[in-house]
Chains A and B, each alone.
With several copies, the nearest count.
Chain A
Amino acid sequence: MAAGKLYTYPDNFRAFKILIAAQYSGAKISLVQDPPGFKFGETNKSPEFLSKFPLGKVPAFEGNDGVCLSESNAIANYVANSQLRGEDVLSQSQVQMFVNFADSEILPAACNWVFPTLGIMQYNKANTERAKEDVKKALGFLNDTLKTKTFLVGERVTLADISVACSLLLLYKNVLEPQFRAPFTNVNRWFTTLVNQPQAKAVLGEVQLCVKMAQFDAKKFAELS
């Protein structure tokens, strides 16, 4: 079983999927996310770090056996177990389909919508509106998929569920207010089920669903940038 250190910054949603996968598989991961062990922009630019992870990206995994991996999906796959990866080639490919869907369809929209409300990205009305439409489209697709299924691939939790749920986390916490999320009952049910599994709770804590859609905070943005 995989065991090692995960370098990241605190509250990195890309690290969450790895940590949740590890909770399911029992992989032993120690988190290195606070100084002096890890300081974003310093540790990951140091020669020692770059010798192990040439691109300087986090999350980055260093196994106790010396294995070094970057790219969150690759690390999640490595620390998972065969249930999470999918038990056969078709399931594994379907898992990859949802993992890629999360990265290319959900995340860009989620970040473009949510980041400005967190004050870490400039607000752009056109982009925010486009992001809202894309989120609706993605949720609609998931809602259809989950009409007759409990989980996205097969009959049990896989990396597909974990990845997609983690990519929706910022949305559910910050902007998907009750009225917005109401039409997507299957997704809401599935998401709530997932984040309330002990394996997810151990990583995410109690997830509070959004009550009122967060808006761009020009003052916060000015302070942070």
Chain B
Amino acid sequence: MAHPMMDGIWFDKYKADDAEKAHQEKRAQDLGGLVVQASSPSSQTE
């Protein structure tokens, strides 16, 4: 479980948890389209 001090840290809440997902999005954005949720994103990037 996250440290209690992280509770109520609203400004940290909406960082995408998954850095991989952020990367996906960057890629999707670079390709000019919308993000498509891949079932196994890591397999697509490396």
Contact = CB atoms under 8 A, between A and B. Distances in A.
Interface residues of B, number: 26
Contacts, number: 69
Given A41-B1, A120-B5, A130 B13 contact: yes
A108 B3 contact: no
Contacts of B37: 125
Given A122-B25, A124-B25, A40 B12 contact: no
Contacts of B9: 111
Contacts of B35: 123-125
Nearest to A127: B14
Contacts of A216: 34
Interface string A45-72: 0000000000001100000000000000
Interface string B14-37: 101110011001000100111101
A202 B6 CA distance: 25
B7 to A, nearest CB: 7
A160 B1 CA distance: 33
Nearest to B19: A122
A108 B6 contact: no
A105 B32 CA distance: 33
Contact of A123 (B3, B6, B14, B34): B34
A12 B4 contact: yes
Contact of B13 (A12, A108, A122): A108
A98 interface: no
Nearest to A114: B5
A84 interface: no
Nearest to A218: B34
> Chain A: interface residue count, which band?
20 to 34
A118 to B, nearest CB: 8
Contacts of B12: 111-112, 121
Nearest to A119: B3
B16 A111 contact: no
Contacts of B21: 124-126
A120 B3 contact: yes
A171 to B, nearest CB: 14
A1 interface: no
Given A104-B10, A123-B25, A218-B34, 15 more contacts: A12-B5, A41-B1, A105-B10, A108-B13, A120-B5, A121-B6, A124-B22, A124-B25, A126-B17, A127-B14, A130-B13, A218-B32, A218-B33, A224-B3, A225-B2
6 contacts: A58-B4, A120-B3, A123-B25, A131-B14, A134-B13, A218-B32
